[in-house]
Structure 1
């Protein structure tokens, strides 16, 4: 997915997030992020865009605490959120092909645009669910979000950042995310960690549904019964119990 599409997606989902939280109670709890009131979710999204832009421009800095973010009063949330997304897009465009720091070693600056897009998309869903508003995501963005999350889970660095992900290791068990059209995501749990390919073939358990629903179930924003599960349901439940985005 090219930088132009990633940037457009970030603008779209930041604006959608801002619309979802408009006129909402800042102290309302977010069901899918139960430790956070809405103001912290808003602060986190705007804060992480600015943090990523800073990394692209000047290098690594400590991961900020969402509770330290100051998004201002609710009436200013929309402008503040959209300004953060624009700042990140500008930083990435200025960096061009220059490698920048990431948790996984030097990568093109577009890494952060992609990471922030997909994190913002999932948090857009959080905000919409909390505010009782609708949520949509384009199929190409949902598909790339699933692929990107699997790329992160399969990198050995991830288990060192979040040791709980080590529970996803296995002895060859397979899960298939099947969107019904086109290739799915075949996940294999090996002793060394998660492996995956874009293909559809029989697996120990298959989750089938629209790609947007697969994304939201996969990131634990919707319950598993939003998709069809065939095969080893305990394997699917174990996977979902040990992942979080």
Structure 2
């Protein structure tokens, strides 16, 4: 497994902030609408949450923080005061993206910065915010009834990162639901059907007594999830249902359901 380059993450953040802003300012978008994949939020709240996370990461990297910074200390972290103006929300989001990308490019990938997953570099935040955007942009896009696209290399890396997060949670939070993902002889295969061999967008996830382990590759498994890469990504993040659409589940569906119920993050 190879991480994308730091510049690639920065480019992806820049592009996706623009795409999310387009959703916010699109004619007919209802910012008060409930987000089906995050039903506790309206579309406006989702966007403010996402932009706030980007500003928080920017402040961490810019100040080379040695510990977490309370969200209330992030300047304009909650967004513009006007809750009814899509243009103001879009402008705030655009400024947020410019700030974060500029700070990340200036820092490079190796600046020492606090991080919550054991990786204490600015590169961690470039990657984390790329995928924070990828998933919450999907939430927003689907809520607005618009088509969603994500670059294949970003989608594949988002699955890699998700699996690494599950590994981290198992190691550090023994009371978390993810700790139940243990036991011998069970495995999950993710198979993207629409990518090039060079991308190698297939994964084997093994649930062992020692914890989750995974690798890229094509192998037989207890259950397989097959479909276009974007759909596999969104289903694995619980943003798309397994039934219907372009996805296919082969083998013991119960194991995949078991995983999806317990492999959660935020």
TM-score (norm 1): 0.91
Q: Which residue number in structure 1 is paired with residue 113 of structure 2?
A: 100
Rate the CA distance shift 1:115–1:162 in 2: closer, same or farther, 3 A. Answer: farther
Structure that is richer in helix per residue:
1
- What's the C-alpha RMSD, in Å, of the aligned pairs? 2.1
Bigger mean CA deviation after superposition, 133-142 or 90-99 = 90-99
Structure 1 residue 162, shift from structure 2 partner: 7.9
Structure 2, unmatched stretches of 5+, are none
Match of residue 10, structure 1, among 5, 9, 13: 13
Q: Which residue number in structure 2 is paired with residue 132 of structure 1?
A: 145
Q: Deviations over 1:71-109 (max 9, x none)?
A: 443221222112112211122222222221111234331
Q: Which residue number in structure 2 is paired with residue 117 of structure 1?
A: 130
Are 1:78 and 2:90 matched, yes or no?
A: yes
Q: Which residue number in structure 1 is paired with residue 187 of structure 2?
A: 174
Match of residue 100, structure 2, among 62, 66, 88: 88
Any conservation in 2 of the 1:220–1:240 contact (CA below 8 Å)? Answer: yes
SS in 2 for 1:214: helix
Rate the CA distance shift 1:162–1:19 in 2: closer, same or farther, 3 A. Answer: farther
Match of residue 30, structure 1, among 29, 35, 59: 35
d(CA) in 1 for partners of 2:89, 2:226: 37
Match of residue 235, structure 2, among 204, 209, 217: 217
Any conservation in 2 of the 1:152–1:158 contact (CA below 8 Å)? Answer: no
Any conservation in 2 of the 1:26–1:38 contact (CA below 8 Å)? Answer: yes
Match of residue 60, structure 2, among 38, 55, 58: 55
Matching of residues 139-158 of structure 1 within 5 Å: 139-156=152-169
Match of residue 69, structure 1, among 78, 84, 103: 78
Structure 1 residue 172, shift from structure 2 partner: 3.5
Bigger mean CA deviation after superposition, 197-206 or 100-109 = 100-109
Bigger mean CA deviation after superposition, 17-26 or 188-197 = 17-26
SS in 2 for 1:155: helix
d(CA) in 2 for partners of 1:21, 1:3: 27
Structure 1 residue 61, shift from structure 2 partner: 2.8
Any conservation in 1 of the 2:79–2:92 contact (CA below 8 Å)? Answer: no
Number of residues of Structure 1 aligned to a counterpart in Structure 2: 243
Q: Which residue number in structure 2 is paired with residue 43 of structure 1?
A: 48
Match of residue 254, structure 2, among 228, 234, 241: 234
d(CA) in 1 for partners of 2:182, 2:216: 19
